[in-house]
Amino acid sequence: MEISHIKLLPLLLFFLLNSVCSTTSNPISESFVPCFSSLIHSNSTSKIILTESTSDYSLVLQSSIQNLRFLNTSTPKPHAIITPSQYSHVQAAVVCAKKDGIQIRTRSGGHDYEGLSYVSKAPFVIIDLFNLRSVDVDIENESAWVESGATLGELYYTIAQKSKIHGFPAGSCPTMGVGGHISGGGFGTIFRKYGLAADNVIDAKIVDVNGRILDRKSMGEELFWAIRGGGGSSFAVILKWKLRLVPVPPSVTVFKISQTIEQGATKLFSKWQNIADKLHEDIFLHSVVSVGNKAGANGGKTIIIEFGSLFLGPVEKLLPLMQDNFPELRLDRSNCTEMSWIESVLYFADISINESEALLRRTQQSKSFFKAKSDYVTEPISEAGLEGLWQTLIEVEAYLILTPYGGKMSEISDSETPFPHRIGNIFGIQYMVTWDDGKETEKHIGMMRRLYDYMAPYVSKSPRGAYLNYRDLDLGRNNVCNTSYGQASIWGLKYFKNNFRRLVHVKTLVDPGNFFMDEQSIPLFPSRKK
Ligand SMILES: Cc1cc2nc3c(=O)[nH]c(=O)nc-3n(C[C@H](O)[C@H](O)[C@H](O)COP(=O)(O)OP(=O)(O)OC[C@H]3O[C@@H](n4cnc5c(N)ncnc54)[C@H](O)[C@@H]3O)c2cc1C
Ligand SMILES: *[C@@H]1O[C@H](CO)[C@@H](O)[C@H](O)[C@H]1NC(C)=O
Ligand SMILES: *[C@@H]1O[C@H](CO)[C@@H](O)[C@H](O)[C@H]1NC(C)=O
Ligand SMILES: *[C@@H]1O[C@H](CO)[C@@H](O)[C@H](O)[C@H]1NC(C)=O
Ligand SMILES: *[C@@H]1O[C@H](CO)[C@@H](O)[C@H](O)[C@H]1NC(C)=O
Ligand SMILES: *[C@@H]1O[C@H](CO)[C@@H](O)[C@H](O)[C@H]1NC(C)=O
Ligand SMILES: *[C@@H]1O[C@H](CO)[C@@H](O)[C@H](O)[C@H]1NC(C)=O
């Protein structure tokens, strides 16, 4: 089914229009528009290039911004937003931007944690791919071509329309774009069985730095390797992916069980650390650690740990597995619900399971200011370490999502794709802090850094690993540029470990002029650096 004609939904943030759009940026460069218009051979250029004088400019700019930190009057605005409806429009944008010496930022779903898909300090244009979002599912061949501007929700929905026994292993938030998500790795509730989204890409179409459309064969295996986890924005504009669909059973089982530390959650958590990555690959059992109010009249804060699970099978098979491996959780049949795989997608997205159409909503229901960071844990954290963590979480008002690794993730070699965090990791941590008042930004970012400092002894070291899709511009922030790559070697090694050098090599080969560039794009070999 094609879903490319679904219109952008009305925007909740409409009221912000006036306050946000008063910033003036320089007028678009004299030569970009004529260059672009002459290349696209269309009289309707005005629908494809939005400038500040066009009425849709602000609406489109804001449409997919997830982090309110990058939606204010001092946020730099693009000279223009290109909204391609054909691949030739992307080609023209790349050719003309390069000719003009202006940066591009490519945006698919706009979920970048640091806003890099739509903010730049240098003069820039945005290529926003929301009109390129067809999903073509081929059940017979168990594959799908999906355009970059499609959301995960659109992808999952379209697969489920065609088959109840196929799925795709990608992330939980349905509004993410497949362009950014898959090029940065992409994990979700079935990745312990099937690996990352990027592990299940079998072909791709891209526009390269010279404006050519290439597929896997014509781009070559090195570039095809780099875009599956190395981040698309360093290498090309990805137009679409060909994905391998994976089998899912007609019925899966989910549960969520919460405990406070007063009820013994610390002991449960300690046990979880010892089994989460060793469980059968059909079980995904993550934990979410948050701050809540203590029961009783005296008040005060406590820690609540929620264990949430997806099992690829019926409840009868899950119960004995949990009884053998994690009896302390005291999982009961009454805690579990059987449902279809697509319903489990809704369940993990906190959407009512009868509302599958909600997967087609492209904008988040609510948005806030946020700052996140990530870590990998290779040894269980001691109980003393946990007690200190709980205390710190209460002080800094943050929460954690802990994702178990193991299973298929341990079978794929560290160098198979640029994503290096495979065998040896028990779980990954996402630290998250959100707030609603822009005046509190500095305070919360400071507290997040404090939490990250607290965790240093308990997480992976040399390098302290991080996940590219949880982009963090703090990484390398305090580093004196003592290496040939400067700061890049700090975040580059954290995100990619030993794959960083190979990414630099590919980058130097395919984009020697460093056109595809942002604050954390892969650098060139020093000798070639511009
Ligand atoms: C609410 C929320 C939930 C999340 N949940 C998960 C999760 O469950 N699992 C997980 O793995 N991650 C998760 N993430 C992180 C997510 O994977 C990344 O933010 C991802 O980069 C989002 O992709 P996007 O297309 O929406 O973002 P964008 O902001 O559009 O892009 C992100 C980056 O990719 C580049 N890019 C985007 N499209 C293209 C393209 N077509 N060609 C080349 N480069 C491109 C951008 O320039 C930018 O550098 C979550 C993020 C949020 C905000
Ligand atoms: C574009 O406009 C020109 C002049 O107004 C006209 O001659 C031409 O036919 C138009 N082309 C298309 C594709 O509409
Ligand atoms: C406003 O945006 C700028 C740039 O995007 C950002 O650095 C700043 O923190 C934002 N201000 C607030 C209050 O969030
Ligand atoms: C399905 O796959 C087979 C074998 O790989 C191939 O021959 C065939 O052309 C494919 N069909 C479609 C519709 O792509
Ligand atoms: C799980 O089931 C048990 C037994 O029915 C019940 O006591 C407990 O409250 C349930 N837990 C949750 C989180 O529903
Ligand atoms: C889904 O169920 C809820 C109650 O469980 C109900 O309020 C809602 O209207 C239902 N939605 C649809 C689309 O059926
Ligand atoms: C660079 O300097 C930082 C901070 O001084 C240090 O931690 C790091 O090990 C140095 N890196 C190299 C490669 O020398």
pLDDT in tens, 52-82: 888 899 999 999 999 999 999 999 999 999 9
- Which atom, in ligand 7's list, is nearest to the CA of 489? 13
Q: Is 262 in the pocket of ligand 4 (CB under 6 A)?
A: no
Which of 7-21, 444-458, 511-525 shows the lowest per-residue confidence on average (mean pLDDT)? 7-21
> Between 488-496 and 499-510, two packed helices, what is the crossing angle to 10 degrees?
120
Per-position b or e across 340-358, b if 16+ CB within 10 A of its CB: bbbbbbbbbbebebeebee
pLDDT of residue 23 exceeding 90: no
pLDDT of residue 334 exceeding 50: yes
CA of 70 to the centre of ligand 3 (A): 6
Measured from the Cβ of residue 121, the count of other Cβ atoms closer than 10 Å reads 9
Model confidence at 487, pLDDT cuts 50, 70, 90, reads: confident
Range 160-164 average pLDDT:
98
Nearest to 360 by CA among 497, 510, 145, 160: 160
Q: Is 257 in the pocket of ligand 5 (CB under 6 A)?
A: yes
Q: Is 297 in the pocket of ligand 7 (CB under 6 A)?
A: no
Range 134-153 average pLDDT:
98
CA of 11 to the centre of ligand 6 (A): 23
Measured CA to CA, the distance from residue 88 to residue 80 in angstroms comes to 17
Q: Is 483 in the pocket of ligand 7 (CB under 6 A)?
A: yes
Model confidence at 352, pLDDT cuts 50, 70, 90, reads: very high
Range 33-40 average pLDDT:
87
- Which atom, in ligand 1's list, is nearest to the CA of 107? 30
Measured CA to CA, the distance from residue 432 to residue 467 in angstroms comes to 14
pLDDT at 4: 37
CA of 313 to the centre of ligand 6 (A): 26
Contact 331, 255 (CB under 8 A): yes
pLDDT of residue 22 exceeding 70: no
pLDDT of residue 9 exceeding 60: no
pLDDT at 484: 61
Contact 348, 308 (CB under 8 A): yes
pLDDT at 483: 61
Measured CA to CA, the distance from residue 261 to residue 301 in angstroms comes to 11
CA of 354 to the centre of ligand 6 (A): 6
Nearest to 213 by CA among 334, 84, 391, 357: 84
Write out pLDDT tens, residues 414-439.
999 999 999 999 999 999 999 999 99
Measured CA to CA, the distance from residue 284 to residue 254 in angstroms comes to 9
Write out pLDDT tens, residues 253-302.
999 999 999 999 999 999 999 999 999 999 999 999 999 998 877 789 99
pLDDT at 43: 65
pLDDT of residue 1 exceeding 50: no
pLDDT at 29: 62
pLDDT at 17: 32
Contact 197, 171 (CB under 8 A): yes
Task: Name the residue at shortest CA distance from atom 11 of ligand 5.
Answer: 335
Write out pLDDT tens, residues 273-285.
999 999 999 999 9
Q: Is 139 in the pocket of ligand 4 (CB under 6 A)?
A: no
Ligand 5 pocket, mutate which of 331, 333, 335 (most atoms under 8 A from CB): 335
Q: Is 74 in the pocket of ligand 3 (CB under 6 A)?
A: yes
Contact 181, 109 (CB under 8 A): yes
pLDDT of residue 7 exceeding 50: no
Positions marked catalytic: 470
pTM of the entire structure? 0.91
CA of 334 to the centre of ligand 5 (A): 7
Question: Among all ligands shown, which has an atom nearest to the Cα of 138?
Answer: 4
- Which atom, in ligand 3's list, is nearest to the CA of 369? 14
pLDDT of residue 348 exceeding 90: yes
CA of 44 to the centre of ligand 2 (A): 10
283 bridge partner residues: 311
Higher pLDDT, 13 or 413: 413
Question: Among all ligands shown, which has an atom nearest to the Cα of 357?
Answer: 6
Q: Is 148 in the pocket of ligand 1 (CB under 6 A)?
A: yes
Position of tokens 């959407």? 351
Q: Is 332 in the pocket of ligand 5 (CB under 6 A)?
A: yes
Taken in order of first residue, the domains within the chain and their CATH numbers are 5-128 (3.30.43.10), 135-247 (3.30.465.10), 252-337+368-458 (3.40.462.20), 476-528 (no CATH)
Which of 122-131, 293-302, 329-338, 465-474 shows the lowest per-residue confidence on average (mean pLDDT)? 293-302
Question: Among all ligands shown, which has an atom nearest to the Cα of 481?
Answer: 7
Task: Name the residue at shortest CA distance from atom 5 of ligand 6.
Answer: 352
CA of 143 to the centre of ligand 4 (A): 10
pLDDT at 481: 57
* Beta-carbon-side half-sphere exposure of residue 433 (alpha carbons within 13 Å): 23
Task: Name the residue at shortest CA distance from atom 13 of ligand 7.
Answer: 483
Contact 365, 194 (CB under 8 A): no
Task: Name the residue at shortest CA distance from atom 14 of ligand 4.
Answer: 141
Nearest to 82 by CA among 128, 39, 43, 124: 128
- Over pLDDT 70: what percentage of the chain? 92
Question: Among all ligands shown, which has an atom nearest to the Cα of 241?
Answer: 1
Q: Rounded mean pLDDT of the chain? A: 92
Position of tokens 């400019």? 57
CA of 457 to the centre of ligand 1 (A): 29
Ligand 7 pocket, mutate which of 462, 475, 479 (most atoms under 8 A from CB): 479
Range 147-173 average pLDDT:
98
pLDDT at 307: 98
Model confidence at 46, pLDDT cuts 50, 70, 90, reads: confident
